[in-house]
Structure 1
Amino acid sequence: MRAAGSLCLGLLLPAVLGLEFSYHHSSELGAFLRDVHQQHPDITALHSIGRSVAGRELWVLVLGRFPTQHTIGIPEFKYIANMHGDETVGREMLLHLIDFLVTNDKRDPVVTRLIDSTRIHIMPSMNPDGFEATTVPDCSFSEGRFNENGEDLNRNFPDAFHSYNVTIQPETQAVINWIKNETFVLSANLHGGALVASYTFDNGNPATISLEGYSRSPDDDVFIHLAKTYSSNHASMYKGVYCDNKSVFPHGITNGYAWYQLQGGMQDYNYVWGQCFEITLELSCCKYPPASELQAFWNDNKAALIEYIKQVHLGIKGQVLDGNGQPVPNVIVEAKGREHICPYRTNRHGEYYLLLLPGIYVINATASGYGSILKTLHVPNGPENFSALKCDFVFPEVFTTVRDASCPTKPLYQQFESISAAGKPTLRFLALVTVLYTVFK
């Protein structure tokens, strides 16, 4: 059943938008973002994280009360669209989201609290070259899917399960650097060609794959909640009807691997190496629909885009401090029973953020050479109050340094690397390997 709307009336009524419902090419996109920043310099920052192969800027607009830099206790959120250049709806939805947020700040209480409590990064196009190469609306695949070098950017990230030879593209490297330089907590990337919310893992091997062909992460419950949050607040995604009118996506969501496996995907990279939960939102059966349909797409997605951002406030957050009250980076902070193969660590400010559903959890903070601190916490529903539960960990010692043991960009699930997503294993073979793994692990 569709979730009850939690947005105020102002979010459900059309806003007076200054942005037309049309496709905006690179020069127009850049001009719009510059204009927004010029008109709202107090709540926006505009920068490019790099350039495409053809030299186009990879623009990011940041929104928040402190848009120019990270603020302790304020989580970082991001939306990315148009990484496949011929999948165009998300690109325009993010431009309209920007317009909606800046227009409704201090007017709509939900938007105002979002901007008060969150630093929101929006990249309307990760693949501007591919978009420019897609010259006319077309529902099917086109060469504009790829970047200027003919590479699929959603197969171009380091993969946790499989070694394969790819040349990291400038657009991909820019996003990798961006992820490393920020403390992103939650993200979504917007695609087209289906109507579904897809979640990690996209790849897998017997360490993660069930006999049903489902590649499960340690935070599967959170990912299901995130995907359902979007689908249930979308006008029709929650119905689960695939583009051929066959109902194949219950609740409008799917595990990525269960749908189809891929290696080098961006959402798995975010989760494993970026400590950021990301889902993939397929927003339209038609990859590049006529511009006349864009307003309907905005009406369908507006509430979901806002409600999804609120989920960055799930779980717990805080700092790790030493005996002098100084923040300590590189401390592992994770919930017992859901440790990550690449452990989640505090940032340079000693901060951590863990997305968790409401419940009781034992949180373990471990500093190499200094021991561990365990705390049992009752986690409330943070999005209701636009804040995760705050909990600091204070070690009695005065720290000199905690060794940075960041994970290498190479496959981490290596027990059965040879059968990772190069080909989906048969159920019979998976059953045999799972038995052997149980016996010999």
Structure 2
Amino acid sequence: MRIVWAVTCVLWAALPAQTAVVPTKSSEAEFEWKHHNNQELEQVLKEVAERCHDVARLYALNKPSVRNVPLWTLELSDNPGQHELLEPEFKYVANMHGNEVMGRELVLGLAHHLCQAWRAGDPHVRKLLSITRIHLLPSMNPDGWQLASDTGGRDYLKGRANNNSVDLNRDFPDLDRIMYSNEARHVQHNNHLMDQLRGLDHQPQPETWAVMKWIMGTPFVLSANLHGGDLVANYPYDASRSGAAQEYAYSPDDSTFRHLAQVYASRHPRMSDPHRPPCTPGDYTFGPDGGVTNGAAWYSVRGGMQDFNYLSSNDLEVTLEVGCDKYPPASSLQQEWLDNKEALMEYMWQTHLGVKGVVRDSLTGQGIPNTLIHVKNITRINDTHVRDEDINHDVTSVHNGDYWRLLVPGDYEVTATAEGYLPLTHTITVTNPPHQEALRRDFDLAPLPDDSMLRQVTGEDEGGEVYDTYPRGQEPNLYELPLEDDLLGRLRDMDRMPY
């Protein structure tokens, strides 16, 4: 679905803006490893934003929690507050389940570390922040955190959900069902699926809406969602194809996702240890598997944030289970930081895998947003065989035509296709040297001749059918969003927008 830019701008303007914050003055005190309450979390982020005001910006997502707690987010970049051409965007989200609290403290500690390292002139952090725009959301569920903390932080479920008793990681639109239906009908449409969604069977929670709008409105390339209760890096798909409780669900980017998960697990001292015991006696331990798992192979989840990112936007996301204890004692947090620090840092560098570039009009030099970037793997397997395999998950260019496509090393054909232009294909070799920017390959597209445009014949509608998110065989009354707050329609219209 093509979106008229002028209409998109109107829709975007109609959405509530993210709230910028003027940080408070702070001291140079070292980070205190403790369980920060919601007020202390805000204060830590404000102090970091003040200390590193040249590279940090604090803002809140456009909706607060049910109990009206802002979803504070810290941006770190050498030019905070705006997207820069060819600079990829990254996010960490933690504390989605309110009683899984270690990720919340790790993300706060990471914010402090990045600021201090920038100020100290650390060359690796300086380079990372100069070529990456990083967003840190320490708590997506501050209300659940409050309940878990008020009740002692020892219950396995209490505080997991938000204040309306909804599990936020089951609350996103079920785009997996649309994607699997497309597969069954041999429709090669596996990306930006919000344009096929016409209604919902429930009203997503305010925290979910806020993150949905954030995902659709920011050109994220890579992200991770930090959970607790196990020690494993989990990658898409989270939902099984057949509906089975456990079933490996391959995505078109399976090799890239496995690489991303392995980057984190291999840099954690215990996650990939083949000899470590399971978190719960009798449970499975992922150490012999390198500390990684496919989501649906572990257990199938519908309506999760991980798959929503992949199927609604350009973002590849994995879920990190960072510790066996959901609510560990404060005395263990500093050691947990030391165990996770290298993995957290190295994972962010993966934002620069593969290829990036700018798609331009060859006559005017203007960037072309919403260009489809399709990739075929042509890596040679041996002397006589080439893989010759389409990766059926396209990304789109954004803003002024810039795009990013995460890929593992190999040989690829990359094709740019935009409405009104002749498609163009480049052959590239991806090597991914560590801590370097992605290979750059620009596309200068020639406009279609006038007579060709008049004689264009559209083939099968790539958008496929539209769906409601009710389970198969059930016909609930669709929740109709009020006209004045039709976020679903606006989010759908932002699909494939140039952000």
Q: Same fold (TM over 0.5)?
A: yes
What residue is the counterpart of 1:169 in the other structure?
205
**Match for residue 248 of structure 1 among 279, 285, 310:** 285
**Match for residue 72 of structure 1 among 66, 85, 100:** 85
Give the match's secondary structure for 1:397. Answer: coil
Amino acid of the structure 2 residue aligned with 1:156:
D
Distance 2:424 2:472 in 1: 38
1:311 and 2:361 are equivalent in the alignment: no
Q: Could you give the per-residue CA deviations for residues 97-154 of structure 1, whole angstroms, max 9, x where no partner exists?
A: 0111100114322212111111110000000011011125545423311111111000
Distance 2:74 2:369 in 1: 28
Superposition deviation, residue 35 in structure 1: 1.3
Distance 2:341 2:271 in 1: 13
**Match for residue 44 of structure 2 among 18, 32, 39:** 32
**Match for residue 445 of structure 2 among 395, 404, 408:** 395
CA gap of 1:311–1:355, structure 2 versus 1, over 3 A, is same
Amino acid of the structure 1 residue aligned with 2:357:
G
Distance 2:29 2:465 in 1: 43
What residue is the counterpart of 2:56 in the other structure?
44
Distance 2:201 2:173 in 1: 10
Superposition deviation, residue 252 in structure 1: 0.4
Give the match's secondary structure for 1:300. Answer: helix
Q: Could you give the per-residue CA deviations for residues 293-326 of structure 1, whole angstroms, max 9, x where no partner exists?
A: 1111111100100000000000001111002100
Q: Could you give the per-residue CA deviations for residues 308-367 of structure 1, whole angstroms, max 9, x where no partner exists?
A: 0000000001111002100001110021244446x4211132111100011110001111
**Match for residue 22 of structure 1 among 34, 56, 60:** 34
Distance 2:210 2:82 in 1: 18
**Match for residue 96 of structure 2 among 80, 83, 97:** 83
What residue is the counterpart of 2:271 in the other structure?
237
Superposition deviation, residue 256 in structure 1: 0.2
**Match for residue 121 of structure 1 among 135, 139, 152:** 135
Superposition deviation, residue 88 in structure 1: 0.2
Amino acid of the structure 2 residue aligned with 1:45:
R
CA gap of 1:24–1:385, structure 2 versus 1, over 3 A, is closer
Q: CA RMSD in A?
A: 2.9
Give the match's secondary structure for 1:301. Answer: helix
1:327 and 2:378 are equivalent in the alignment: no
CA gap of 1:103–1:411, structure 2 versus 1, over 3 A, is farther
1:221 and 2:255 are equivalent in the alignment: yes
What residue is the counterpart of 1:259 in the other structure?
298
Superposition deviation, residue 397 in structure 1: 2.3
Superposition deviation, residue 407 in structure 1: 6.7
Superposition deviation, residue 396 in structure 1: 2.3
Distance 2:170 2:319 in 1: 14
TM-score (norm 1): 0.84
Structure 1 unaligned spans of 5+: 1-15, 420-441
Superposition deviation, residue 194 in structure 1: 0.5
Matches within 5 A, 1:89-238: 89-105=102-118, 106-134=120-148, 135-162=150-177, 165-205=201-241, 213-238=247-272
Distance 1:56 1:338 in 2: 45
Superposition deviation, residue 29 in structure 1: 0.7
1:355 and 2:395 are equivalent in the alignment: no
Distance 2:462 2:111 in 1: 34
Structure 2 unaligned spans of 5+: 1-27, 179-199, 377-388, 474-499
Give the match's secondary structure for 2:31. Answer: coil
Distance 2:89 2:158 in 1: 33
Distance 2:104 2:257 in 1: 23
Give the match's secondary structure for 2:423. Answer: strand
Contact 2:247 2:296 in 1 (8 A): yes
Give the match's secondary structure for 2:177. Answer: coil
1:367 and 2:407 are equivalent in the alignment: no
Distance 2:77 2:448 in 1: 34
Contact 1:161 1:411 in 2 (8 A): no
Q: Could you give the per-residue CA deviations for residues 61-119 of structure 1, whole angstroms, max 9, x where no partner exists?
A: 00010111110111100000000000000000000001111001143222121111111
Distance 2:80 2:465 in 1: 30
Contact 2:249 2:296 in 1 (8 A): yes
Distance 2:59 2:66 in 1: 18
What residue is the counterpart of 2:496 in the other structure?
none
Distance 2:127 2:203 in 1: 42
Distance 1:346 1:291 in 2: 44
CA gap of 1:213–1:149, structure 2 versus 1, over 3 A, is same
Deviates more, 1:135-144 or 1:358-367: 135-144
Distance 1:399 1:154 in 2: 48
Give the match's secondary structure for 2:86. Answer: coil
Contact 1:201 1:217 in 2 (8 A): yes
Contact 1:185 1:312 in 2 (8 A): yes
Deviates more, 1:69-78 or 1:159-168: 159-168
Superposition deviation, residue 266 in structure 1: 0.3
Contact 1:137 1:290 in 2 (8 A): no
Contact 1:314 1:356 in 2 (8 A): yes
What residue is the counterpart of 1:5 in the other structure?
none
Deviates more, 1:70-79 or 1:346-355: 346-355
CA gap of 1:137–1:356, structure 2 versus 1, over 3 A, is farther
Give the aligned length: 397
Contact 2:51 2:115 in 1 (8 A): no
Superposition deviation, residue 210 in structure 1: 11
Superposition deviation, residue 277 in structure 1: 0.6
Distance 1:300 1:409 in 2: 47
Give the match's secondary structure for 2:43. Answer: helix
Distance 1:408 1:94 in 2: 39
TM-score (norm 2): 0.74
Distance 1:409 1:97 in 2: 43
